[in-house]
Amino acid sequence: MIKMKTKTRKGAMHALEGLLAFSIVVGFILFVMPAVEISTSSGHKTHYVYSTLETLESKGILRAYAFDNNMTGLNTTLKDLLPTTYNFAVGMSQINATHKTISGNHSFNYTIDTTKRDYVKLDFILNTATDPNIYLNGNIIYSSTGDSSGILESIDLTDNTIDGENQLTFNFTGIATFDYRLLMSESEDLSSPPFKKDIDTVNYFVSGIDSTFLPTIVRVYLW
């Protein structure tokens, strides 16, 4: 258990923002990048594709595709811009976060498609809390006894999250105030790269519409 006494609410929020950013980076490295076997044999190709994506972003085109999760449009545009000798497929990972400041016991639902799921993480700070118990779909995932004020925690919910609707419940003894963020990443490919081939993968981060900490990762697989 990680315990951190926060002197001010502003300090607590900075800590939660830092934990959120860290969770996104680590989650991407652990869950998104290993999804395809990556080769670095075609440096010129990957550089050319990255530069093409960079140009599309500078014109606002890539950002629009990412915001709409429009992989078909991206695929068509890349077919027009890349050399005909390039074999490729496209995919995207969408990262979403829900943040709230709560007083007292609280429950909320979230929905996810487990066929697209990369990871689900819960970050929270207990500003004032006694005997906190957190449940996911009725199963306890966190518990502490006594005064737990100032505790900062991050819990991986990936394996315990079910397909469709899920419910998180926070229960306390007496008065409690806390901040939480639920971070979810879902990936989808327009078409799958060939099986058992060396794949070069270009990952391009497109900043989120509301926050740079909630990007869409555009992926182009090359073979």
pLDDT at 213: 55
Comparing CA positions, the residue from 75, 103, 100 lying closest to residue 89 is 75
Per-residue pLDDT tens over the stretch 143-171:
999 999 999 999 999 999 999 999 999 99
CA torsion angle 186 188 192 196 (round to 10): -10
For residue 72, tell me if it sits in a domain.
Answer: no
Does residue 215 or residue 166 have the better pLDDT? 166
* C-alpha of 195 from chain center: 26
Which of 9-13, 108-112, 188-192, 195-199 has the highest average model confidence (pLDDT)?
A: 108-112
Whole-angstrom distance, CA of residue 213 vs CA of residue 178: 21
State what percent of residues in the chain have pLDDT above 70.
78
Whole-angstrom distance, CA of residue 161 vs CA of residue 182: 12
Whole-angstrom distance, CA of residue 99 vs CA of residue 135: 18
Query: 58: number of CA atoms within 13 Å, CB side?
Result: 6
DSSP for residue 162: P
Q: What CATH number is attached to the domain comprising 142?
A: 2.60.120.260
Residue with tokens 């990369």: 118
Per-residue pLDDT tens over the stretch 74-86:
999 999 999 999 9
Instruction: Determine the straight-line distance between the first and last CA of the chain, rounded to whole angstroms.
Output: 45
Parent domain of 141: 95-186
Per-residue pLDDT tens over the stretch 37-65:
344 445 789 999 999 999 999 999 999 99
For residue 182, tell me if it sits in a domain.
Answer: yes
For residue 74, tell me if it sits in a domain.
Answer: no
For residue 171, tell me if it sits in a domain.
Answer: yes
For residue 193, tell me if it sits in a domain.
Answer: no
For residue 162, tell me if it sits in a domain.
Answer: yes
For residue 36, tell me if it sits in a domain.
Answer: no
| 84 CB burial (10 A radius; 0-12, 13-18, 19+) | exposed
Strand ordering across the sheet containing 88-103: 151-156, 117-128, 177-189, 88-103, 216-222, 200-206
For residue 160, tell me if it sits in a domain.
Answer: yes
pTM > 0.85 = no
Residue with tokens 């709230």: 100
Counted domains in the chain: 1
DSSP for residue 38: B
